Amino acid sequence: MDKRWSLEGMTALVTGGASGIGHAIVEELASFGARIHVCDISETLLNQSLSEWEKKGFQVSGSTCDVSSRPEREILMQTISGIFDGKLNILVNNVGVVHTKPTTEYEADDFSFHISTNLESAYHLSQLSHPLLKASGIGSIVMISSVGGVVSMCCGSIYSLAKGALNQLAKNLACEWARDGIRTNSVAPNFVNKTTMAKPFFKDTGYEKTSYITGQTICVDGGLTVNGFSYQPNA
């Protein structure tokens, strides 16, 4: 392994890491030597993934957590502080849900569900992780956003506004917390196979060697955001 990209001695928290993009992110970080804690709402998927990672020799621990719950987020960060001795290098706010409907059909519960899971959780976990990231000396927050937060969607307006807010949050935290040695970026993937695209788009955002990249929204979308949703790569 090229030592320039080594994550030996570094720690990471990945939310929603037992499947999809989160699972692939965990594998990428672990393969470069990071110690990782994964939280997921599904105990079954979490246990399956932990068993898989143990067989691969990865340094991964895990706990169940519903990140839409404020008390559970607080318990999670207490766990992280204990496991990693009060320090954290990388926070990946990966959890996301989407229920697509026309805007006129959304109800109050739909709004609360999307905002608490997709936006409030990332905001609060970033707040809670700040002292741990600062203590590490080399901190990085990665928001897993979506192209839906950059260009319009035909439905799913609540999802889009939450993802757009994540992109703006990354900019704000990048400026506010730069003095604390914390970088913040947002990665906005297209709606394609989550597992296959996760590794290449995430690979560079958490490394010390990319320390000049902060406050950015990095679209990984096959060119969709420069064409809008009329883009048809297979046409």
3-state SS track over the chain: CCHHHCCCCCEEEEECCCCHHHHHHHHHHHHCCCEEEEEECCHHHHHHHHHHHHHCCCCEEEEECCCCCHHHHHHHHHHHHHHCCCCCCEEEECCCCCCCCCHHHCCHHHHHHHHHHHHHHHHHHHHHHHHHHHHHCCEEEEEECCHHHCCCCCCCHHHHHHHHHHHHHHHHHHHHCHHHCEEEEEEEECCCCHHHHHHHHHCCCCCHHHCCCCCCEEEECCCHHHHCCCCCCCC
d(CA 145, CA 175): 19
Give the pLDDT band of residue 128 (cuts 50, 70, 90).
very high
CA distances from 72 to 76, 120, 124 (A): 6, 13, 11
* pLDDT tens, residue by residue, 132-142: 999 999 999 99
Q: What is the pTM of this model?
A: 0.89
Please give the residue that has the higher pLDDT: either 156 or 119.
119
Split at pLDDT 50, 70, 90, the class of 223 is confident
Res. 78: pLDDT tops 60: yes
Which numeric CATH code is attached to 11-230?
Answer: 3.40.50.720
pLDDT over 90, % of the chain: 71
**Is residue 195's pLDDT more than 60?**
no
How much is the pLDDT for 219?
78
Query: Where exactly are the structural domains of the chain?
Result: 11-230
pLDDT band at 193 (very low <50, low <70, confident <90, very high): low
24 has pLDDT over 90: yes
| Structure confidence by residue, pLDDT tens digits, 139-162 | 999 999 988 888 887 788 999 999
Active site residues: 159
pLDDT band for 224, please (50, 70, 90 cuts).
confident
**Is residue 221's pLDDT more than 80?**
no
How far from 11 is each of 29, 78, 107, CA to CA, in Å? Answer: 9, 15, 39
**Tens-digit pLDDT profile for residues 56-68:** 999 999 999 999 9
Q: What is the mean pLDDT of residues 92-102?
A: 93
Q: What is the mean pLDDT of the chain?
A: 88
Distances (CA, A) of 65 to 15, 37, 53, 119, 215: 9, 12, 19, 16, 28
